[in-house]
Amino acid sequence: MSLTLNDVEKIAKLSRLSLDDGEKSATLEKLNAVFALVEKMQAVNTDGVEPMSHPHEVALRLRDDVVTETDHAADYQAVAPDVRERLYIVPQVIEE
């Protein structure tokens, strides 16, 4: 898959980015290089290869689950304009 300058312009518009012609060309080259790399990676035969969560055999260091901080919610919410049942109440901004 490769992109065109028209695709880059659409992506820039959706991202609300203002790109000049040089930036569009550079972005096009970089994005096409990423897609080319992905295509190469997808072509690799991974049959019989088990997925792994980490490249090294490591054990997670676990610690006891203990509370180390006190609850400051009341302090933080004391300055809020509106709080109900420990929830911040904000004005509705999207009409139904």
The β-bridge partners of 84 are: 87
CATH level 3 topology of 5-42: Histone, subunit A (1.10.20)
* Three-state SS at 32: helix
| Domain boundaries defined on the chain | 5-42
Residue 73 has phi, psi (to 5 degrees) of -55, -45
Contact 72, 79 (CB under 8 A): no
Q: Does position 55 have pLDDT exceeding 90, yes or no?
A: no
Tell me the average pLDDT across 27-44.
Answer: 96
61 pLDDT band (50/70/90 cuts)? confident
Burial category of 78 from C-beta neighbours within 10 Å (exposed 0-12, middle 13-18, buried 19 and up):
exposed
pTM of the complete model: 0.52
pLDDT score, position 27: 96
Which amino acid, residue 30? K
Calculate mean pLDDT across residues 5-16: 95
**pLDDT score, position 60:** 80
